[in-house]
């Protein structure tokens, strides 16, 4: 029996089974007629059989008309929502550990607990537990805005005149306007359960700060948000929403912390970066009794919580007898991309499927496409543990004209490892092209995407156009992480022709590489 890989067998000789509710087992001969038998269900390798069924159906559909009976939006029921997060690290090999910069040795849970909640520190270091139960209190808040829809981009397909089938997972149906709430709820819950009196965090575009403010208000926790100065000035209404949920917002770098004062002394006119904001938030947490720091991207625990995106996506696509040939996500720190690809990457690591996974990052902050795979600090102030990741150097700060929130100097250690091992691809794109793609998409799909999300849109359009050239009817899945209604300053700059593209020179990047820690 084929072990999840039908490519070794002539298609006309493959017999597959499917069980339909209230019917007998149905055996389907590809290219032939179906015969129905009351027969034995081979449970020994049922997972591989089910995978083969989906693949067979997809093969049969190739060359058929692009329009078929697929709803524009597919919502799972609350009962179908995942009850566990999936920990991708359990299926990976040789994951480099976090390193304590003071000792040069792998960071321990006890050391991480000085900064993070106890349970989050445990999750950060857990590389073996494949599935982790989602507490009922978190599930209840998830149900306010989840399950999120899987959307077939019919209008985009028509406009591109492509045979590709394009789907996107839309995470913008909540007040934060993004996927960030998935992890914010979890982190605020664990902080409350531990009896903490407050949290600190950073935010780039403001989506994470907004999401965490919502979650902290829900669980009754005070919150201090250090917001990257460029975004603080570009997106004033993000501040208003955070304050609506009782969050305190401070532009970073600031004079309220030693790290901020040091950064401003070195560069008084800096527009800030996520690395700067992380330094300030961590310092505030460790110097304030009963307070811990939480992070909206990059960390292993965050990608764990965000796996609900991919788990829902896979369930929905199975209902449609679909499986993505290409999976695309924007990449700054890696939270949404890591969450979207998690269950599909599990198939890839196991040899059951081979989807292409493409990370799309800004050309102004190209950590994957031009960075170094090395140990580096997770913050500009160099007070956090060091992670092995693709990095531009912790001191790298993108140009102030960078319009999106993908301003982090490094990439998730999980995604960095997958990329270095050849399981992922990456591309970078200038922001004017990103906003061109965002505008094109908005006119067809009637959703105004966040600039971050528009990077994935650009990648999906490029792949769909390749299908138009080759005639291949590939299935494309991308993550639409959020809406752009608080990014109108950037949209206006694009519309008025004032937006420019910044691409760092090799010399710019070398300055960051020269400061990488020596281990």
Furthest C-alpha separation in the chain: 78
CB atoms under 10 Å from CB of 110, counted, come to: 9
Chain segment 272-330, per-residue pLDDT in tens: 888 889 899 999 999 999 999 999 999 999 999 999 999 999 999 999 999 999 999 99
Residue 321 φ/ψ region, left for φ over 0, alpha for ψ in the -120 to 50 degree band, beta for the rest: left
What is the mean pLDDT of the segment spanning 347-374? 97
Q: Which residues contact 36 (CB under 8 A, 6 or more apart)?
A: 23, 24, 25, 26, 27
What is the mean pLDDT of the segment spanning 414-438? 98
pLDDT of residue 80: 97
Q: What is the pTM of this model?
A: 0.86
Radius of gyration over every alpha carbon of the chain, rounded to an integer in angstroms: 23
CA distance 244 to 208: 15
User: DSSP assignment, residue 394?
Assistant: T
In the predicted structure, residue 232 carries a pLDDT above the cut 60 = yes
CA distance 296 to 416: 17
CA distance 191 to 478: 32
Task: For residue 476, give the nearest of 168, 67, 179, 76 by alpha carbon.
Answer: 168
Chain segment 86-111, per-residue pLDDT in tens: 999 999 999 999 999 999 999 999 99
Distance, first Cα to last Cα, the chain: 49
% pLDDT > 90, the chain: 77
Residues 304 and 272 sit within 8 Å (Cβ to Cβ): no
**Which DSSP string do the residues of 156-173 spell out, in sequence order?**
HHHHHT-S-EEEEEE---
pLDDT of residue 204: 83
Structure tokens at 489: 């300053």
pLDDT of residue 338: 98
Chain segment 46-70, per-residue pLDDT in tens: 455 555 555 555 554 444 444 458 9
pLDDT of residue 22: 33
pLDDT of residue 50: 53
φ, ψ at 11 (rounded to 5°):
-60, -35
What is the mean pLDDT of the segment spanning 413-438? 98
307: helix, strand or coil? helix
SS3 assignment for 95-135: CCCCECCCCCCECCHHHHCCCCCHHHHHHHHCCCCCEEECC
CB atoms under 10 Å from CB of 93, counted, come to: 9
pLDDT of residue 443: 98
**Which DSSP string do the residues of 47-77 spell out, in sequence order?**
HHHHHHHHHHHHHHHTTS-S--S--SEE---
Secondary structure tally for the chain: helices H, strands E: 19, 18
Q: Cα–chain-centroid distance for residue 274? A: 16
CA distance 58 to 473: 9
Q: Where are the beta strands (DSSP E) in 331-401?
A: 356-362, 372-377, 386-391
pLDDT of residue 53: 54
CA distance 140 to 130: 23
Question: How, if at all, do strands 150-152 and 73-74 pair?
Answer: antiparallel
Chain segment 448-491, per-residue pLDDT in tens: 999 999 999 999 999 999 999 999 999 999 999 999 998 898 99
Chain segment 188-201, per-residue pLDDT in tens: 999 999 999 999 99
Of 257 and 401, the structure prediction assigns the larger pLDDT to 257
What is the mean pLDDT of the segment spanning 226-245? 90
Q: Calculate ∠ Cα 319-325-328, nearest 5°.
A: 100
């Amino acid at each position: 029996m084929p072990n999840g890989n039908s490519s070794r067998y002539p298609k006309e000789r493959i017999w597959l089974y499917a069980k339909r509710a209230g019917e007998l087992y149905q055996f389907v001969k590809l290219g032939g007629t179906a015969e129905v038998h009351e027969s034995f269900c081979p449970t020994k390798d049922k997972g591989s059989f089910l995978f083969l069924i989906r693949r067979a159906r997809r093969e049969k559909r190739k060359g058929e008309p692009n329009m078929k009976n697929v709803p524009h939006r597919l919502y799972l029921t609350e009962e179908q929502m995942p009850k566990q997060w999936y920990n991708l690290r359990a299926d990976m090999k040789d994951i480099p550990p976090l390193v304590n910069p003071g000792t040069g040795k792998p960071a321990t849970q006890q050391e991480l607990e000085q900064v993070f909640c106890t349970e989050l520190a445990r999750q950060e270091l857990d590389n073996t537990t494949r599935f982790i139960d989602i507490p009922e209190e978190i599930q209840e808040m998830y149900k306010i805005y989840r399950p999120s829809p899987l959307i077939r981009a019919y209008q985009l397909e028509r406009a591109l005149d492509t045979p590709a089938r394009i789907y996107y997972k839309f995470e913008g149906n909540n007040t934060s306007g993004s996927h960030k709430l998935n992890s914010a709820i979890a982190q605020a819950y664990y902080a409350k359960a531990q009896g903490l009196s407050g949290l600190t965090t950073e935010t780039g575009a403001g989506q994470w700060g907004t999401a965490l403010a919502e979650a902290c208000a829900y669980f009754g926790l005070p919150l201090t948000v250090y917001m990257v100065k460029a975004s603080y000035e570009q997106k004033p209404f993000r501040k208003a929403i955070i304050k609506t949920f009782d969050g305190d917002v401070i532009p970073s770098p600031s004079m309220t912390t030693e790290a901020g004062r040091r950064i401003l002394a070195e560069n008084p006119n800096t527009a800030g970066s996520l690395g700067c904001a992380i330094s300030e938030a961590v310092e505030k947490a460790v110097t304030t009794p009963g307070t811990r720091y939480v992070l909206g991207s990059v960390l292993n625990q965050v990608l764990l919580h965000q796996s609900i995106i991919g788990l829902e996506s896979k369930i929905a696509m199975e209902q449609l007898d679909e499986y993505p040939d290409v999976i695309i996500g924007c990449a700054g720190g890696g939270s949404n991309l890591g969450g979207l690809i998690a269950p599909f990457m599990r198939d890839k690591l196991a040899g059951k499927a081979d989807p292409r996974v493409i990370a799309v990052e800004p050309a102004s902050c190209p950590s994957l496409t031009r960075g170094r795979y090395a140990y580096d600090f997770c913050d500009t102030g160099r007070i956090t543990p060091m992670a092995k990741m693709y990095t531009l150097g912790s001191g790298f700060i993108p140009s102030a004209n960078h319009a999106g929130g993908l301003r982090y100097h490094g990439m998730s250690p999980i995604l960095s490892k997958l990329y270095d091992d050849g399981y992922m691809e990456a591309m970078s794109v200038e922001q004017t092209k990103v906003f061109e793609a965002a505008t094109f998409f908005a006119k067809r799909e009637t959703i105004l995407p966040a600039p971050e999300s528009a990077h994935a849109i650009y990648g999906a359009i490029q792949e769909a156009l390749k299908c138009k050239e080759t005639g291949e009817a590939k299935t494309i899945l991308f993550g639409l992480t959020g809406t752009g209604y608080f990014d109108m300053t950037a949209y206006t700059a694009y519309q008025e022709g004032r937006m420019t593209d910044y691409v760092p020179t090799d010399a710019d990047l070398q300055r960051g590489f020269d400061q990488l820690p020596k281990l």
